[in-house]
Amino acid sequence: MKTAHWLLPAVLSLSLGFAPAAHAQAASKTVPIAGIVSGQPESVVFGGAARIEVTEAVDNVSGSPPRMVVSITLLGMSGRGSSTGATYVLSGQTTLTRRLHANDVVEVTFPFSVLGSAAVAVTQTAVASFSFSYDATSNKIVSANASIAALNLPAAN
């Protein structure tokens, strides 16, 4: 029986050609986050940490600027009400896909409420602002800062 010696290398090269692309490692940085959310019924002073992760989107088109998946997770965020002393909790995770600049700002909103309040209780909203420097060549978040404040929507006319 005659076996074609070129068959094995051909099959191996085809199987490697159809292998899924390796996903890039996520760049990650945990930063402290603090601020005052002013509003009614009272202002709340928050503190805690946030984790920022950046990964290249898997559906990027060759030759175009890469889109990045930015995930932000709040870690251990709690606050104290300025007039009642009530403990407030703020938690959540958000993920967005966008083109990043070397120096970028991402603002996201998160709900917060009094610790132990019912799941259907009225919540308030805070805006967390993240400014960070991202080096696409080394896939590293070089520096990052975060703050939290009240959500200031424009007045209705």
Q: What is the pTM of this model?
A: 0.74
Beta-carbon contacts of 42 under 8 Å, excluding residues fewer than 6 positions away, are 81, 82, 83, 84, 86
State both tokens at 78: 């709690």
| Range of weakest confidence among 6-15, 37-46, 125-134 | 6-15
φ, ψ of residue 17 in degrees (nearest 5): -65, -25
pLDDT tens profile 54-111 = 998 887 677 777 788 999 999 999 999 999 999 999 888 999 998 888 899 999 999 9
Amino acid 148: pLDDT: 96
